[in-house]
A = this chain, B = another copy of it.
Amino acid sequence: MTLQDTLEQTARDVERMLDRLLAAGDGPEARVVEAMRYGTLNGGKRIRPFLVVHGAALFNATPTGALRAAAAIEMVHSYSLIHDDLPAMDDDDLRRGRPTCHIRFDEATAILAGDSLLTLAFEVLARPETHSDPGVRAELVVALATASGAEGMVGGQMIDLWAEDHDLDIAAITRLQRMKTGALIRFSCEAGALLGKAPEAARHALMAYAHDLGLAFQIADDLLDVTGDAAAMGKRAQKDADKGKATFVSLLGVERARDQASMLADQAAGHLDMFGDKAEPLRDLARFVVERSN
Contact = CB atoms under 8 A, between A and B. Distances in A.
Contacts of A154: 32, 112, 115-116, 119
A141 B123 CA distance: 6
B89 A150 contact: no
Interface in A58-100: 79, 83, 86, 88-89
Copy count, this protein chain:
2
Contact of A114 (B109, B115, B159, B175): B115
Interface residues of A, number: 57
Given A137-B138, A158-B32, A151 B107 contact: no
Nearest to A89: B108
A284 B28 CA distance: 36
A78 to B, nearest CB: 13
Q: Is the interface of A mostly helix, strand, loop or mixed?
A: helix
A29 interface: yes
A106 interface: yes
Contact of A118 (B118, B126, B139): B118
Given A88-B108, A88-B111, A119 B116 contact: no
A122 interface: yes
Interface in A22-38: 25, 27-29, 31-33, 36
A149 B89 contact: no
A170 to B, nearest CB: 16
Contacts of A116: 149-150, 154-155
Interface of A: 25, 27-29, 31-33, 36, 79, 83, 86, 88-89, 106-109, 111-112, 114-116, 118-120, 122-123, 125-128, 133-135, 137-139, 141-142, 145-146, 148-151, 154-159, 161-163, 166, 175, 179
In the A-B complex, the 6 residue pairs with the closest CB atoms? A123-B145, A88-B107, A29-B155, A126-B141, A119-B149, A134-B135
